[in-house]
Amino acid sequence: MRNFDEHNITNAAIDSVREARSPRIKEISESLIRHLHDFVRDIEPTQAEWKHAIDFLTRAGQMCSATRQEFILLSDTLGVSMLVDAINHRLPSGATETTVLGPFHVAHAPEVANGAMISRAEEGPPLLIAGSVRNLQGMPIADAVVDIWHADDAGFYDVQKDETALSSRARVRTDAGGNFHVFGVVPAAYPIPNDGPVGNMLESQGRHPYRPAHVHFIVAAPGHVTLVTHLFLQDSEYLDSDVVFGTKDSLIEALNVAPAELAARGPKPQESMAMLQRNFVLADALDPRKPQRQLI
C-alpha cells in the first residue's frame, strides 16, 4: 500500500479495516472514513483550518472533568444527541415523547416521599410538580420511579453552584394509583455552559446558548421502556430556538394554579402556587426474546 492520492486514499483507508474485530465495528469504521473523507472533499480545508479543527477538539477534551462534559455539549449543539435519541425512540403513538438527557443528571439522587420539598426555598417561587405514570392502555403504573431535576429561578443547577448539598432533584415513586407529586421551584431558561470551545463555536456560528425553561424527568418501571424527557414551560423564551434542538410541542405545558389542598401542604401554605402537571405514558419494553443487533 503506497502512492496514495486524493483519488485512491478513501478506498485504501476503508480497506484497512477489513479485519475489524466485529461486523459492527467494520460497518461503523467504514462509514466514518467515507463520511469524513467526503466532508474534507466538500470543504477543502487549508492546513491552518485543519489545525484549528484539531486544536478545537483538543480544547474540548481538556475542558472535560467530572462535572463538565464538553463533548456532550458539542453533540447536543450540533443536533446529534437529538438525532441519536430519535433513532432510538421510535415509540408507538400515545407514548410520551423523549428528549435529550443533558449533562446535569446525577445518578442516585435522594429518594423522597410524595409531597416532599425538593428545592431550597430561596431558589425561587414554589412549584408543584405532579402527575401520573400510565401504560399505553391507560392503566396506572404503581411504584414507577420518577427521577426529577431542574434549574433554579436564576437558571442554575445545584451542581453548577458552590454548594455541597443536592437541590431541585429527587426520585419519587408513584403510589398505588400511579400518581406522584413533589414541590420544587419554577425554573428559569438558562444558557448551557458556554465558557469553553462549544461556547466559542456557538458565537462564531451566530447562535445564542439558551435553552427554554424546563423540568427533566426519567420515568422507569419494570416491563416498560424507560422514558427520558422534559416538560417545557409554555411561557418560556427560546421554545423556538432551543440551542440543543430538544423542544417538542407535545412536551410543552402551561403552569396552572395548584389545587388549594395540595398547595396548603407546600412550603408557603398561605400563597397560591403554580403547578406543572403531566400524565406520562410509557411504552411496553421490547420482547427480550427478539434478537437485538450485536453490540460493539
* Interface residues toward ligand BEZ, by CB under 6 A: 73, 76, 100, 102-104, 192, 211, 244
User: Nearest distance from residue 267's CB to ligand BEZ, in Å?
Assistant: 24
User: Nearest distance from residue 20's CB to ligand BEZ, in Å?
Assistant: 32
User: Nearest distance from residue 244's CB to ligand BEZ, in Å?
Assistant: 4
What contacts 90, CB < 8 A, 6 or more positions away? Answer: none
Question: Interface mask (CB under 5 A) for Fe ion, residues 84-123, using x and -?
Answer: ------------------x---------------------
3-state secondary structure of 183: strand
User: Nearest distance from residue 153's CB to ligand BEZ, in Å?
Assistant: 16
127: partner contacted, choices ligand BEZ, Fe ion, none (Cβ within 5-8 A by kind)? none
Task: Label residue 137 exposed, middle or buried (CB < 10 Å: 0-12, 13-18, 19+).
Answer: exposed
Question: In the Cβ-directed half-sphere of 284, how many Cα atoms lie within 13 Å?
Answer: 7
User: Nearest distance from residue 219's CB to ligand BEZ, in Å?
Assistant: 16
User: Nearest distance from residue 149's CB to Fe ion, in Å?
Assistant: 8
Nearest to Fe ion of 135, 242 (CB atom): 242
Nearest to ligand BEZ of 178, 246 (CB atom): 246
> Which of 113, 127, 168 minimizes the C-alpha distance to 263?
127
Nearest to ligand BEZ of 160, 226 (CB atom): 160
192: partner contacted, choices ligand BEZ, Fe ion, none (Cβ within 5-8 A by kind)? ligand BEZ
191: partner contacted, choices ligand BEZ, Fe ion, none (Cβ within 5-8 A by kind)? none
Q: Give the sign of the dihedral formed by CA 183, CA 188, CA 189, CA 195.
A: negative
Nearest to ligand BEZ of 87, 296 (CB atom): 87
Cα(245)–Cα(230) distance, rounded to whole angstroms? 13
User: Nearest distance from residue 133's CB to Fe ion, in Å?
Assistant: 21
Cα(139)–Cα(155) distance, rounded to whole angstroms? 36
- Residues touching Fe ion: how many (CB under 5 A)? 1
Residues in the chain: 296
What helix, strand, coil percent values describe the chain, rounded to 5?
A: 30, 25, 50
181: partner contacted, choices ligand BEZ, Fe ion, none (Cβ within 5-8 A by kind)? none
Indicate the residue type of 23.
P
What contacts 31, CB < 8 A, 6 or more positions away? Answer: none
Q: Tell me how far CA of residue 187 lies from CA of 4, 166, 167, 184, 213, in angstroms.
A: 56, 16, 12, 9, 6
Nearest to Fe ion of 141, 276 (CB atom): 276
Nearest to Fe ion of 95, 213 (CB atom): 213
Query: Which residues sit at the interface with Fe ion, rule CB under 5 A?
Result: 102
